[in-house]
Structure 1
């Protein structure tokens, strides 16, 4: 019997690959047989993450996800080296917290740019390649996973920019799923709760810790290594009939129909 989750021979693009969830996705995807093209703004963390992996199966790309030309060049380079791109994980993200009445336009725009505009650029660049392959007769399609958050479903005090962006990602996911389903391109979102990454250090700190844990039925944070299994499942043939969905991986932090 074939394993349910395998990425053997596939090429996956991962944004925000230098640390946290992005690095964990990269490590697991390579472990499952994939080639990975990792993008990150921080050269030092990206190269440190990539140096532990087989050099013939990874391409590090330093730059901003908001750069549309970088996205197009990266897709071209990955196709030239590996032959095709089969998956994309839009993971890059930032936070710029402030209460609504105190938030600056720059704080708002920075978060919107990375989470929404950046995701659009990579979704478009990789999607164009997948559509072209499909029109040329390749039935393999592809899989795209957008990393959203419970904040996009329930709001987040002090982070209207982040909550709005993460809600917007779910709209992008559903639209791409409807437009590209005919090409066998699957697009899904994963909504994380509180994962042990640098981005969640504040909410996991002494001031908020007990209150946050009380809202999580499983009573603990998750590790990046734990939650990225779901991402790799959605990239694999094990999820071949799943598209347009928002899968919560949150310990029960947000529960809905």
Structure 2
């Protein structure tokens, strides 16, 4: 039986690929037969990951997704080097915490620039390529996965910038999915709960752990390797008739119709 999640021949851009979820997703893409196009600001970590993935299995692009010029150049170079881009994982993100009434404007803007505008820049550049490729008659799969968060659905204390950005990602996902569906370009989002990464160290600390865990029916946090699997599901043809959806991967933290 063929593996419905196989990614053979798929060239997939992963932003925020140097560590955590992005690294785990990149590793699984290669395990499933695809090529990972690694994007991050941490050159040393990208080089180490690409070396570990093996020759020909990864490309490296060092820069910030908050810079539209860099994003367009990265996509253009990826297409030129590989012939096509078949997938995008919009994963890059930062956290800058402060209560709403005390948040400096720059702290607000820094998170919006990366977590919302950066998602749009990558979505637009890759989506434009996918749309044009479809118009030319190319029927190869095209899938975009935007990484959102429970913070974008429920709100979050002390991170109004992060919550606003992640809620905005849901809107980007639904709008792009409607615009591009006729060209078979699929766009979905994943809302993660608490994943064991550097970004969630504070919420997993002794001060907050018990209170957070009490709200998770499965009574545990997830890890990057575990959550990389639903990302690759949405990238693959196993999800070929799914678009415009928000998949919760959070142990039951949010449950609804």
TM class by smaller structure: over 0.9
Q: After TM superposition, list the pairs within 5 Å mapping 1:77-156 onto structure 2.
A: 77-156=77-156
Partner of 1:12: 12
Using the TM superposition, give the Cα deviation of residue 145 of structure 1 relative to its aligned residue in structure 2, in angstroms: 0.2
1:219 matched residue in structure 2: 219
Q: 5+ residue gaps in structure 1?
A: none
Contact 1:139 1:183 in 2 (8 A): no
CA deviation after TM superposition for structure 1 residue 83, in Å:
1.0
**Greater CA drift, 66-75 or 87-96:** 66-75
Query: What's 2:170 paired with?
Result: 170
The whole-number CA distance in structure 2 between the counterparts of 1:67 and 1:51 is 26
Q: Is the 8 A contact 1:78 1:85 kept in 2?
A: yes
Q: Distance in 1 between matches of 2:27 and 2:88?
A: 15
- Aligned residue for 1:117, secondary structure, equals helix
Structure 1 distance, partners of 2:10, 2:141, is 11
Q: Deviations along 1:202-250, whole A, 9 cap, x unmatched?
A: 0000000111111100000000000110000000000000000000000
Find the aligned partners of 1:51 and 1:208 in 2 and give their Cα distance: 37
**d(CA) in 2 for partners of 1:182, 1:139:** 12
Aligned position for 1:65: 65
How far does the alpha carbon of each residue in 1:48-75 deviate from its partner, in whole angstroms, 9 at most, with x for none? 2222011212111110001111111111
Secondary structure in structure 2 of the residue aligned to 1:227: helix
**Mapped partners of 1:38, 1:21: distance in 2:** 12
| C-alpha contact (below 8 Å) 1:11/1:82 kept by paired residues | yes
Q: In 1, Cα distance between the equivalents of 2:139 and 2:52? A: 33
Give every structure 1 segment of 4 or more consecutive aligned residues whose post-TM-superposition deviation is greater than 4 Å: none
Match of 1:243 in 2: 243
Following superposition, the deviation at residue 153 of structure 1 comes to 0.4
- In the alignment, is the contact (CA less than 8 A) between 1:149 and 1:191 conserved in 2? yes
- Give the secondary-structure state (helix, strand or coil) at the position aligned to 2:5: coil
Unaligned runs of 5+ residues in structure 2 are none
CA contact (8 A) 1:134 1:141 kept: no
Q: 2: CA distance between counterparts of 1:194 and 1:136?
A: 42
The answer (yes or no) to whether the contact 2:143–2:235 under 8 Å persists in 1 is yes
What TM-score do you get using the length of structure 2 for normalisation?
0.98
The separation in 1 between residues aligned to 2:233 and 2:254, in whole angstroms, is 21
TM-score (norm 1): 0.98
Aligned-partner SS, 1:69: helix
The residue that corresponds to 2:22 in the other structure is 22
Q: Say whether the 8 Å CA contact 2:91–2:147 is kept in structure 1.
A: yes
1:196 is aligned to 2:171: no
CA distance, structure 1, for counterparts of residue 234 and residue 116 of structure 2: 21
Mapped to 2, the partners of 1:32 and 1:123 lie a distance apart of 23
